[in-house]
Structure 1
Amino acid sequence: MPFSVIDLFAGPGGLAEGFSSLVDENNQRVFKIRLSIEKDAHAHQTLTLRSFLRQFPKGEFPEEYYLFLKEKTDIRDLYKQYPAEYHEASREAWQATLGQTPEKEIDGRISECIGNEKNWVLIGGPPCQAYSMAGRSRVGGIFEEDHRVHLYKEYLRIIARHQPSVFVMENVKGLLSAELNGEKIFSKIIEDLRRPGHVFPGSESQDYRIYSLVTHDIRSDSDYLIKSEMYGIPQKRHRVILLGVRGDIDMSPDILRTKRKTDLKSVIGGLPPVRSGLYREFVSSEIVPDGTGFKKKRVYKNLTDSYADWSERVLKYTGELVSSFEKQKVDVDFNPVYPQSTGEEYLKISTDTISPAHPHYNWYHDSRLDGVVHHSSRGHLTQDLKRYLFASLYTRIFHKFPRMADYRKFGEDLLPDHENAESGKFNDRFRVQVPDEPATTVTSHISKDGHYFIHYDPGQCRSLTVREAARIQTFPDNYFFCGSRTQQFHQVGNAVPPMLAGQISVIVSDLLNRINANHQLELWTTGEN
């Protein structure tokens, strides 16, 4: 029997995808996701679809799914073809809000899924915006009244009430430095996780031991930090991940094994080149009263996208930028081939988009998928097109992305129309992803604009597509994200990289198997078997 998993704050299912990807020597899944709880409607739709696919043997998705990916059938038609599998998926993926949905209802669903199992796993990442350094900077700190600060207690309550053998909890790096009322939040969370029964005394919960996944010798809080690029993930994503083991289990887990770093170009360089689209053009700005003071009002002109207009503008910008580089005595070796297409939600292809020799080829690749899903570009402000082009050219030449002083140096018009543009706060406002290194962290901010996620190829002159972001996050190529492109970006940015979760699942599986083996030995020793 597979080990049961309950997934809280599930997002689009990154942790669940990693755990459910682990198979035994008979190609049977080692873990079974029994319940995934997520409040966001679009992420919940994504969870339901992926759960539906897990009702089939690994690697044997129904043909109708590929017709759906190719936009030749509707998702409702897919579900109608397989009502039993859809019913099971609907039971597994539950749209509910921890902290608002009645605890009795949540406990009932979990108890129903777990039954009498003793050895099962709780996974999840409580919302982290309140702890993130970017979030704290925006609002000026962390506040008691922000309910997100306390959402980890919803996770803790379920530990106390249902007592999994093992839990895996993920959160942002900012958690390590976050303080509330002068007290370090991380120290408080660690202490609560060790003694959940003291926070919820009616539960009579056992204590837990909290382990690092990167070292056996914990000397500081930073030892709980996982640097994803050290484990083959093509992204410098640094996250706190805690592994808890119930106190009656006298066994310790293993740690992650470092892997060779994976550069960005090796995972997205083979995807079909697509250009950015034209969206609108900045015309002017003026200071106007807003009732309580004054604000800057910007005027834009909407544009209709076409390759002819796009290429005309980009060629013009290219000439201006090459001239600016030459004035600075910088040689520019740039002979671009501009792609004509802005991409598609499904883009048919005839060749592999990642090398069969790549160590992650089997993870990404699906031989039945003869196309690329979610590979369409955004439309951009024309002034941003020039900034993106400059930034990617600059990064190609100097092997680092430019700061605001560099934008001014190469052209006044490259500076954004923002009063704080050169204050120092916006130095990394436009960030090119360097091809021969792991990418920087993909966050949910990618749903708002692409300024932090500029493609390294100047000829494409754009930010990343959803599929490129999903590749960086190590979602398989057949993973479909429901909702609009903005909602897809949001889901991808909020997820745990499935490939990293898969490596963690190996550690958890090994621990649970040792627990079971030890239990069997005890039964034989006492003659109870």
Structure 2
Amino acid sequence: MAIPVIDLFAGPGGLGEGFSALPDAKGGNAFKIALSVEKELNAHQTLTLRSFFRQFDPGDVPDDYYEFLKGKLSLSNLYFMWPEQAEVALDEAWHATLGEGKGAVATAEVDRRIEAALEGRKDWLLIGGPPCQAYSVVGRSRRQEKMLDESKDERVGLYKQYLRILAVHSPSVFVMENVKGLLSAETRESPMFDKMLADLSDPASVALRDKWRNGRLLTCPGYRIYSLVVKSGSDDPAGNPAYGRQMDYVIMTEKYGIPQSRHRVILLGVRKDISVIPDILEDADEVPVSKVLQGLPRIRSGISRGNDSNELWKAALAQVAREGILDGVDNMVCQEIYRNLDQVTLPQNGMGADYVPYPAVNVSYRPDWYLDKRLGGVCNHLSKTHMESDLHRYFFISSFAKVRKVSPKLNELPESLLPAHKNVTEGKDLKTFSDRFRVQVWNRPSKTITSHISKDGHYFIHPDPTQCRSLTVREAARIQTFPDNYYFCGTMTAQFTQVGNAVPPLLAHQIAKVVLKIFKSPLNESNKKHPQRLKNV
């Protein structure tokens, strides 16, 4: 029987997707999402749609789902035609805000929904990542914050919602994800990460003000916190096997078969009455971005602030080689630019679309994970528009990278291509924001896909100069390892934000294998007979 999973702060469901896709020894599902909670409307719609998809066995997904992806059927009609599966999905994916601020749902209702979803199951898994913007280095720098203050930013304390659920419901195992910036974040009282580790070890002491409910004393064994990349030895007095070694908790995804250098803190908590030392993730070869971007239909960028057509776009690219533009540029780079200009064609698919018919969709890395032959094309594959001056920069930068195998810094751009921004001189001379334009290099894993991709494409330039554009939502999703049949709802901006904030599902899938061994271990089986868990309240 599948192990129930409660997913908090679920986003579009990347973490849950990885666990849901893991088969058990009999070919069924090892894990099943019992409840996922997300406050952002578009992400919740994506979450619900994926839950609907999972109501069917892989080979039995109805044609109507693919008709929706192709834009031939509305979402409401899809749910109308499959009411039973839609009702389960809408019940599983809960649109709710956790916390204590305005609009937050009452804790009693959260507890009721969790208990209803678990249906009496005692051995279960809690996953999720409290919102990370408060902890990120870039976010703190932008807000000019040296110290985090929960009274000014409620996101600082949102992990306490996670703590409270650990204390009250005492799952066997939890997996918590957050940004690497958490390691350097501080409150006035203590380093944030040290406090979080201590709190997660003994959530009841922090999250339960009153340990008596209805005449009963509530008890929670607490948790040992493990690294997923460094094998644990003997425990320290606090019960944290890797306590104090902060980098032990950082997963560098490029080391584990993810085509992206995404570095995130991921904590694995095992309840203290379960005497199991978990395995760690297995190293894998680096996956270059070419292995997941090649095989998608070629499209072009659009031209903003003016007329746009295939012909005008091609003519705009040719201007990168006009007299004086490439003065002082290395001869090999110049030759590459001329060579690429000769190879520019008018893409048959134009700027792409929310669905692009394309029977030849392929991928050279993990086709079993990405591809779905029933799609007959690719969804969420529409390009952004760019100013002509940015097209020239994109063309130069992507051509430069083909020769040098790295993305150029601002001081490597010709003067004629530098943007008219007041901090450009600072970027050239002091190297501050010197990579404000960044191409993903074919033979390397991508840089981190972040939610900033929703604002502009300067950090996410496609490596093929002849397409001269930033990444599409589908390309970003492939780098994040979402399967091609995973559809993102909302506007393009909302879709990019969801993809950028997600946990790579293929990484979550590997974590799920580690977690499954904990649940299946003989020591855990014996603990089930006498679980020291909190009484239901």
Task: State the TM-score, normalizing by the size of structure 2.
Answer: 0.89
Deviation at 1:238, TM superposition (A): 0.3
Name structure 1 gaps, 5 residues minimum: 281-302, 524-529
Deviation at 1:197, TM superposition (A): 1.2
Name whichever of 330-339 and 431-440 sits farther off.
330-339
**Separation in 2 of the partners of 1:329 and 1:19?**
47
**Separation in 2 of the partners of 1:124 and 1:192?**
16
Q: Deviations over 1:71-130 (max 9, x none)?
A: 111111111111111111011000000102111111110011113222100000000011
- Aligned pair partner of 1:113 in 108, 113, 117: 117
Question: Following superposition of structure 1 onto structure 2, how do residues 508-527 of structure 1 map, counting pairs within 5 Å?
Answer: 508-514=515-521, 518-519=525-526
Whether the aligned pair in 2 keeps the contact of 1:339 and 1:460 (CA below 8 Å) is no
Deviation at 1:422, TM superposition (A): 2.4
Equivalent in the alignment of 1:226: 251
Equivalent in the alignment of 2:395: 389
How many residues align? The count is 495
Equivalent in the alignment of 2:307: 304
Equivalent in the alignment of 2:148: 143
Equivalent in the alignment of 2:227: 212
- Residue 171 (1) aligns with residue 145 (2): no
Name whichever of 55-64 and 248-257 sits farther off.
55-64
**Separation in 1 of the partners of 2:155 and 2:527?**
42
Deviation at 1:325, TM superposition (A): 5.7
- Identify if the C-alpha distance between structure 1 residues 88 and 521 changes in structure 2 by more than 3 Å, giving closer, same or farther: closer
Equivalent in the alignment of 2:422: 419
Name whichever of 487-496 and 74-83 sits farther off.
74-83
Q: Deviations over 1:221-240 (max 9, x none)?
A: 00000000111000000000
Q: Deviations over 1:138-166 (max 9, x none)?
A: 01124312111111111111111110000
Whether the aligned pair in 2 keeps the contact of 1:325 and 1:331 (CA below 8 Å) is no
Whether the aligned pair in 2 keeps the contact of 1:249 and 1:515 (CA below 8 Å) is no
- Residue 371 (1) aligns with residue 357 (2): no
Whether the aligned pair in 2 keeps the contact of 1:447 and 1:487 (CA below 8 Å) is yes
- Identify if the C-alpha distance between structure 1 residues 105 and 330 changes in structure 2 by more than 3 Å, giving closer, same or farther: closer
**Separation in 2 of the partners of 1:516 and 1:76?**
47
Whether the aligned pair in 2 keeps the contact of 1:273 and 1:339 (CA below 8 Å) is no
Q: Does the residue aligned with 1:89 lie in a helix, a strand or coil? A: helix
- Aligned pair partner of 1:244 in 269, 276, 279: 269
Taking every aligned residue pair, what percent have the same amino acid on both sides?
A: 50
Deviation at 1:304, TM superposition (A): 2.5
Equivalent in the alignment of 2:290: 265
Q: Does the residue aligned with 2:195 lie in a helix, a strand or coil? A: helix
Whether the aligned pair in 2 keeps the contact of 1:392 and 1:432 (CA below 8 Å) is yes
**Separation in 1 of the partners of 2:203 and 2:9?**
19
- Aligned pair partner of 1:127 in 131, 134, 137: 131
- Identify if the C-alpha distance between structure 1 residues 521 and 462 changes in structure 2 by more than 3 Å, giving closer, same or farther: closer
Deviation at 1:136, TM superposition (A): 0.9
Q: Deviations over 1:195-242 (max 9, x none)?
A: 111102325322110000001243610000000011100000000000
**Separation in 2 of the partners of 1:31 and 1:515?**
18
- Aligned pair partner of 1:461 in 462, 468, 471: 468
Whether the aligned pair in 1 keeps the contact of 2:361 and 2:377 (CA below 8 Å) is no
Q: Does the residue aligned with 2:335 lie in a helix, a strand or coil? A: coil
Q: Does the residue aligned with 1:374 lie in a helix, a strand or coil? A: strand
- Identify if the C-alpha distance between structure 1 residues 516 and 62 changes in structure 2 by more than 3 Å, giving closer, same or farther: farther
Equivalent in the alignment of 1:285: none
Equivalent in the alignment of 1:292: none
Equivalent in the alignment of 2:386: 380
**Separation in 2 of the partners of 1:207 and 1:327?**
61
Whether the aligned pair in 1 keeps the contact of 2:204 and 2:220 (CA below 8 Å) is yes
Q: Deviations over 1:383-435 (max 9, x none)?
A: 1111111111121122211112122xx133x2222211222332110001011
Deviation at 1:330, TM superposition (A): 5.0
Name whichever of 252-261 and 320-329 sits farther off.
320-329
**Separation in 1 of the partners of 2:223 and 2:91?**
30
Q: Does the residue aligned with 1:53 lie in a helix, a strand or coil? A: helix
Q: Does the residue aligned with 1:324 lie in a helix, a strand or coil? A: coil
- Aligned pair partner of 2:327 in 300, 324, 329: 324
Partner amino acid, structure 2, of 1:117: R
Deviation at 1:320, TM superposition (A): 5.0
**Separation in 2 of the partners of 1:396 and 1:234?**
18
- Residue 181 (1) aligns with residue 188 (2): yes
Equivalent in the alignment of 1:526: none
Equivalent in the alignment of 1:289: none
Task: State the TM-score, normalizing by the size of structure 1.
Answer: 0.90
Q: Deviations over 1:306-331 (max 9, x none)?
A: 11211111111144588436576755
CA RMSD of aligned residues (A): 1.8
- Identify if the C-alpha distance between structure 1 residues 318 and 21 changes in structure 2 by more than 3 Å, giving closer, same or farther: farther
- Aligned pair partner of 1:342 in 351, 355, 359: 351
Name structure 2 gaps, 5 residues minimum: 212-217, 233-241, 531-537
Deviation at 1:520, TM superposition (A): 9.0
Q: Deviations over 1:442-483 (max 9, x none)?
A: 000001111100011111110000000000000000000000
**Separation in 2 of the partners of 1:77 and 1:109?**
27
- Identify if the C-alpha distance between structure 1 residues 517 and 305 changes in structure 2 by more than 3 Å, giving closer, same or farther: same
